[in-house]
Amino acid sequence: MNQPTMTQAQALDRVEQLIRETAAALTPQPRLELLPSSVAPHTCLDQGKSENQLVIYRAYWLRDLPRADNMNIARQVQAYWEKRGHVITATGGFHDGAPTVHGESRPDGFLLALVWAEGDDLYLASTSTCVWPNGSPPADSP
């Protein structure tokens, strides 16, 4: 239960890498705009995990994309994630122009999401697995 994990900094690096590599694979290239609400670490809520563990989450608006390209962008994201070996866990909204694609990165199990939002905007997000801030459980943990 209290196994070592990657550190909080390593989790942030991986979350950023997953988002930036996905965005870089898109045509046209979006400008990434950080959602400020995605910056603070969150308490791990996974059953059987310590409340002292964190999840790292980041989300970026995909800016400077024509809204008419939303469906095409969603298809590109899905294809890119599949090509990278990630697992697509859910898709939706393709029939009504509000696409969402959810996945899980391989081999590390980070959550991936392309989400349509009110206003016809898209954002990319990634969430780490539960990690210990410094990579190791506290010495006093059971």
Q: In the numeric block, which tokens belong to residue 140?
A: 């006093």
Task: Look at residue 35 and give its three-state secondary structure.
Answer: coil
The C-alpha atoms of residue 69 and residue 20 are separated, in whole angstroms, by 19
Q: What is the per-residue pLDDT across 31-81, written as a single tens digit (0 to 9) for each?
A: 999 999 999 999 999 988 988 999 999 999 999 999 899 999 999 999 999
* Residue 51, pLDDT score: 87
Mean pLDDT of 89-116: 96
List the domains of the chain with CATH numbers: 8-127 (3.30.310)
The whole-model pTM stands at 0.94
* Residue 2, pLDDT score: 79
User: What average pLDDT does the chain have?
Assistant: 94
pLDDT band at 139 (very low <50, low <70, confident <90, very high): confident
